[in-house]
Amino acid sequence: MIKTQILSADSASLDKAAQLLSCGEVVAIPTETVYGLAANALDEAAVKRIFEAKGRPSDNPLIVHIAERDQLFELASEVPQTALRCAERFMPGPLTMILPKADCVPDVTSGGLDTVGIRMPSHPTARELIRRCGFALAAPSANLSGSPSPTSFRHVRADMEGRVAAMIDGGDCSVGVESTVISFEGETIRILRPGFICAEELSEIAKTVIDKGVLEQLSADAVVRSPGMKYKHYAPRADVTVVEGDAEAFRSYVSKNLDSKTMLLVFGKEDAKGLDADFVELGESAEQQAQNLFTALRTLDDMGAEKVYARCPEKSGVGLAVYNRLIRAAGFKAVKV
Ligand code: AMP
Ligand code: MG
């Protein structure tokens, strides 16, 4: 256990955080997607501390966060035209681009790959901190490996207090799901992880395909283009089943399968009408669902849920990001009703 300094997002605190990061320490920081666990991306020893604090497998690469678009050219050995167009449109924002890595990026940061994931957060605290550091920050989500990503400061404290040098309280994250991760194949954009920047928006830049691993559990011999896909993620303790169908079909299915420790993850109260079970609401819009999902998964754990039936989000737009997280939380267990 180490003593974790609790910092606010004021200027003096950011100087303190930048000083700790310059000394190779790990600091949890707010971003617009989820909280990140940051260290100097170019300092091997510092990056190793992130893996230790999270208990993250060493072949799962970290996203490198920058404050200005120009830093793309320092961290990537090549930036294709399509990537430049994406950067102009979506940086800063919740988009991570996988690019060939420059030699300055250590192998620990890239999980041994010859590529690096780069993102420019739009969160003012995150960007100002990167600016003050003068170096890019490697920052995976600030949760213990395998548990839901932290979208409020209370989640970060629960998972990381005593494991990192400091944490900055930036309130709740506005997006709530991790960044969209994309790679480039010639002119084509491939979505490796869906997020708030959705396929429909990326299609306006170039032809966009969604990797098979986004929607399905990859078989043991499948090509894994993004190591994060093969790990169990976002899992609450409860046994989750995604129920695909309209509200009426959902109620009808659940009513036949209820027991005393069953809880529901629904869009709104209507979905649980007439059912004798506790429930947590995600909201009706995909944006609300993205913002609330990880808190909802933690809440279900806190309520002692053993079994959870969840309504299935839309598989398009921002909904695809919610579906992708939820289906992993369910270990790909789904029923169509
Ligand atoms: P996290 O920062 O915890 O949200 O996880 C970052 C995820 O981004 C990883 O699990 C990978 O799936 C993906 N990622 C990061 N860097 C790369 C890369 N170089 N190639 C493919 N995927 C990557
Ligand atoms: Mg993560």
Per-residue pLDDT tens listing for the chain (337 residues) = 899 999 999 999 999 999 999 999 999 999 999 999 999 999 999 999 999 999 988 889 999 999 999 999 999 999 999 999 999 999 999 999 999 999 999 999 999 999 999 999 999 999 999 999 999 999 999 999 888 899 999 999 999 999 999 999 999 999 999 999 999 999 999 999 999 999 999 999 999 999 999 988 888 788 888 888 876 667 788 999 999 999 999 999 999 999 888 999 999 999 999 999 999 999 999 999 999 999 999 999 999 999 999 999 999 999 999 999 999 999 999 999 9
CA dihedral angle for residue 101, residue 102, residue 104, residue 106, rounded to 10 degrees: 20
The CATH number of the structural domain formed by 239-336 is 3.40.50.11030
Residue 227 Cβ < 6 Å to ligand 1: yes
**What residue spans define the domains of the chain?**
5-214, 239-336
Please name which of 317, 335, 322 lies closest in space to residue 290, comparing C-alpha atoms: 322
In words, the CATH class of domain 5-214 is alpha beta
Q: In the β-sheet with 115-119, what is the strand arrangement from edge to edge?
A: 5-7, 166-168, 27-29, 36-40, 137-138, 63-65, 115-119, 95-100, 180-185, 188-193, 208-210
Q: What is the pTM of this model?
A: 0.96
Residue 61 Cβ < 6 Å to ligand 1: yes
Q: What is the pLDDT of residue 232?
A: 65
**Separation of CA 34 and ligand 1 centre (Å):** 14
Mutation test residue for ligand 1: of 34, 60, 118, the one with most atoms within 8 Å of CB: 60
Q: Which atom of ligand 1 is nearest to the CA of 141?
A: 3
Omega of the bond leading into 57 within 30 degrees of 0 (cis)? no
Instruction: Report the C-alpha gap between 182 and 134 in whole angstroms.
Output: 26
Please name which of 43, 63, 56 lies closest in space to residue 115, comparing C-alpha atoms: 63
Instruction: Report the C-alpha gap between 56 and 159 in whole angstroms.
Output: 13
Judge whether 61 and 147 are in contact, CB under 8 Å. Answer: no
Residue 63 Cβ < 6 Å to ligand 1: yes
Residue 170 Cβ < 6 Å to ligand 1: no
Instruction: Report the C-alpha gap between 81 and 60 in whole angstroms.
Output: 27
Residue 33 Cβ < 6 Å to ligand 1: no
**Separation of CA 136 and ligand 1 centre (Å):** 16
Q: Which atom of ligand 1 is nearest to the CA of 227?
A: 12
Mutation test residue for ligand 1: of 180, 181, 211, the one with most atoms within 8 Å of CB: 181
Amino acid at 227: P
Q: What is the pLDDT of residue 236?
A: 82
- Closest ligand to C-alpha of residue 195 is 1
Judge whether 293 and 176 are in contact, CB under 8 Å. Answer: yes
- Closest ligand to C-alpha of residue 235 is 2
**φ, ψ for residue 100, nearest 5 deg:** -60, 135
DSSP track, 238-257: SEEEEEES-HHHHHHHHHHS
Owner of token pair 């005393």: 260
Please name which of 312, 158, 322, 331 lies closest in space to residue 238, comparing C-alpha atoms: 331
Judge whether 177 and 293 are in contact, CB under 8 Å. Answer: yes
- Closest ligand to C-alpha of residue 140 is 1
